[in-house]
Amino acid sequence: MILTPPRRYWLTGASNGIGAAMVEELLKTGAHVAVSSRSLTQLKDMSQRYPGQVLVVAGNLTNSQTVREIGEQIAEQWGSLDTVILNAGTCEYVDAKQFDTSIVEHVVRTNLLASSYCIEAALPLLRKGIAPHLVGVASSVTYLPLPQAEAHGASKAGLRYLFESSRINLAPQGIEVTVVSPGLANTPLTAKNDFPMPQSWPADKAARHIVSKLRDRPLEITFPGMFMAALWPMSKMPDQVKLEIGKRMVRRNPPIKDQP
């Protein structure tokens, strides 16, 4: 009897929210998961609860040298990867009356540049993997311009383009690419939002949905269904209509600035 080796994943942003919940879902299937985050405590806890299945590769992914070292560590321990899920990211809001370039810089570095560093480190390992699959978590915010989302939206739109362009270039190498576009979900990151989040999903439900859909390797995964059903038609409306929709959503109070 030939035993199929466990599938090997690298998942970033693994310490909380949807990322941590996805790790749990994958580990339950018997997969081996390399987990990355700046926070080491939660990653060590995963490693203790699933001995032999978790490879802790913590670090600041906005540092390209750190990411290269993580890639080298995975290569030394495992030699290859089958699936890479780039989930790490942040969200900060911009106040147009006090426009702060440092917010844009921080968000783009965290969401877009860090992902590009991870892709560079992951591709040599995916090329040695079984049915390789590259997954990037973008956002539904890329469908419709929203107030105060200049930094977050720009970074996620760039991330979407990065993955969709990579999909074309990697196809001849047998590496499939999926973009995940979450709508509203209850996570530590969205807990800081000062606006209502109707139809939002808990992190564990979102994680189960993503992991189940990844089996079919779709080009894109979106959720929640009702939220996306409303958002998608709005994204196809004329620019003037989208402007009017956005103006109605502007908050009177300045947005909360996240701490880098």
pLDDT digits 0-9 by tens, 11-31 = 999 999 999 999 999 999 999
Confidence check: pLDDT of 159 > 80 = yes
pLDDT of residue 109: 97
How far apart are alpha carbons 224 and 181 in whole angstroms? 10
When pLDDT is cut at 50, 70 and 90, the band that residue 81 belongs to is very high
> What is the radius of gyration, based on Cα positions, of the chain?
18
Sign of the dihedral through C-alpha 114, 93, 192, 207 = negative
Confidence check: pLDDT of 252 > 60 = no
Confidence check: pLDDT of 232 > 70 = no
Confidence check: pLDDT of 254 > 70 = no
Distances (CA, A) of 133 to 102, 147, 159, 202, 204: 34, 34, 17, 25, 22
For residues 201-213, give the mean pLDDT: 94
Confidence check: pLDDT of 233 > 70 = no
For residues 165-188, give the mean pLDDT: 89
When pLDDT is cut at 50, 70 and 90, the band that residue 56 belongs to is very high
Q: Which fold has domain 8-248?
A: Rossmann fold (3.40.50)
How far apart are alpha carbons 22 and 135 in whole angstroms? 13
pLDDT of residue 229: 64
Confidence check: pLDDT of 105 > 80 = yes
What pTM was computed for the model? 0.85
